[in-house]
Amino acid sequence: MSRTTRTLGLVILVFGLLTAALSLFVVDETECALIERLGNWVTDSKTDKPRVLQAGLHFKLPFLDTVHFLDKRIQTIDISSSRIPTKEKKELIVDLFTKWRISDFATFSIKTGGNTVKAEKLLREKIVNGLRGEIGRRKLSDVVSQDRQSVMDKIRVETNNAAQTLGVEVVDARIVRIDLPPEVSEAVFNLMRTERQRVAAEHRAQGRSRAEAIRADADARVIVLAAQAERQANQLRGEGDGKAAEIYANVYGRDPEFYSFYRSLEAYRETFKNNNDMLVIKPDDAFFKYFRKSQEGNGQTAR
């Protein structure tokens, strides 16, 4: 075999390998593929719709065909910080996410040109419009509390119905956060703070009033108890004095002379308690009556 023949064979082999490399492609299990040929989709002869290629090895015309791979898995769209007015014209900041997937690849390729970014943009617009409609028909309290699940369900159903024209299925829609704008939140917090301060001041005033009432009642009870105690003490003291007087009277009545003598001794004891005590009185004064009787009994003259 001549050198020219070997060279020609090698060129043909390289060209064949290059053509095969450019003509064959593999579709993964998580994807589907559509072929675009000179600006038009390659269609299925039976349905006259773009032909959808499933997982496996496929063939295309090199330099003429362009392969578009589309993901079959569920995808997520995050919608954050969307300002939406309620029925009372109060704005809410709503964050939500949507789970979606391509259900009809042929329709999807026709409506969006096989562009996932474009499809997400259209879905985002439909979701936001549906969210505005649902929240705009409700009050703030309803959206935040009881109607939240109802809003999400209706958004999912309405968005899914609208998305079917794109060949897309909306699997789920969930509201992540509902919040007030910063300026509204500050106003609400100030209102709540003022209300709490008013309630606190009211409770303090009621507490002071009750404290004064309790203190006044306690003071009144103290005065009443003290008066009752004083009255009872005076009564007992009077009874004691009367009893003592009665005893003294009985004793005095039994032996007046002894009682007079005993009282004189007590007076002498108190008068001459200290050695330096001195009395200047008449010798015949009644104070020394029992001294004189004692001296007369001994035969002595009082000096």
Q: With contact defined as beta carbons under 8 Å apart, do 123 and 156 qualify?
A: no
Domain ranges of the chain: 17-71, 75-180, 264-297
Q: With contact defined as beta carbons under 8 Å apart, do 254 and 260 qualify?
A: no
Q: Which of 146, 69, 70, 143 is nearest to 101 (CA)?
A: 70
**Start-end of H helices in the chain:** 3-23, 105-112, 116-136, 140-144, 148-163, 182-254, 256-271, 289-297
- As a whole number of angstroms, the longest Cα–Cα distance in the chain is 194
Q: What is the pLDDT of residue 224?
A: 92
Query: Which of helix, strand or coil describes residue 151?
Result: helix
Q: What is the pLDDT of residue 176?
A: 79
Tokens of 173: 């829609």
DSSP state of 164: G
Tokens of 122: 């259209």
For every one of its 303 residues, what pLDDT tens digit does the chain have, with 9 covering 90 and above? 567 777 767 767 666 667 767 788 888 888 889 888 888 888 887 878 888 888 888 888 887 888 888 888 988 888 876 677 877 777 788 888 888 888 888 888 888 888 888 888 888 888 888 888 877 887 777 776 666 777 778 878 888 887 888 888 888 888 877 777 776 667 667 778 888 899 999 999 999 999 999 999 999 999 999 999 999 999 998 888 888 878 877 777 777 777 777 777 777 777 767 766 666 666 666 666 666 665 555 554 434
Q: What is the pLDDT of residue 40?
A: 86
Q: Domain 75-180 adopts which CATH fold?
A: Tetrahydropterin Synthase; Chain A (3.30.479)
Q: With contact defined as beta carbons under 8 Å apart, do 213 and 205 qualify?
A: no
Q: What is the pLDDT of residue 64?
A: 84
126: Cβ contacts below 8 Å, ≥ 6 apart: 159, 162, 163
114 backbone φψ class: left, alpha, beta (φ>0; ψ -120 to 50)? left
